[in-house]
Amino acid sequence: MDNYLVDENFLKAKMTGTMIAYYIICIGETVKIDFLKFGDEIVVHEVKKSRKLEEAHIWQVKFYIYSLQKLGIKCHSGVIHYPKLMRKVDVDFNENDYIKIEIIHQEISELLKQSLPPPIKKTYCAKCAYYNFCYL
């Protein structure tokens, strides 16, 4: 299990007076997660400054949920907030997501073990302005 640090702060909901625990969890130096705890339920919250809804944002939150579950923390959902759009997106995490992230993690580990990434030769690459960055 990775080392992790939890910084716990408490907020008091104005309307109900309910105490809400607000945590920041750091896993190694790579993942910093903000989440709220309502009783026994933990919900990951992510705020995006972007004006664009992207699938990558959803998978980022799913990865955070996966990371929390790997630490034994019960979490099955998240919310992405887009203040500039005045929108939020609910993110559910299920067993298929867990399996998909496990597979991707394994594939990344295999790539990192290789001395060089496998070359991808496409017909349009030779004319690309970035050819030197990829192949030289």
Tokens matching residue 100: 């998909």
Per the structure, the count of domains in the chain is 1
pLDDT per residue as tens, the chain (136 positions): 334 444 444 434 443 444 445 555 556 556 667 667 667 778 888 888 888 999 999 999 999 899 888 888 888 999 998 988 999 999 999 999 999 999 998 998 888 888 876 676 667 666 777 766 665 5
Pick from 96, 102, 77, 97: nearest CA to 88: 77
Q: What number of CA atoms fall less than 13 Å from residue 78's CA on the CB side?
A: 25
Residue carrying structure tokens 């394994």: 106
Residue pair 83/49 in contact (Cβ under 8 Å)? The answer is yes
pLDDT of residue 11: 39
Q: Name 111's Cβ contacts closer than 8 Å, sequence gap at least 6.
A: 117
The answer to whether the pTM exceeds 0.85 is no
Instruction: Give the domain range for residue 41.
Output: 4-135
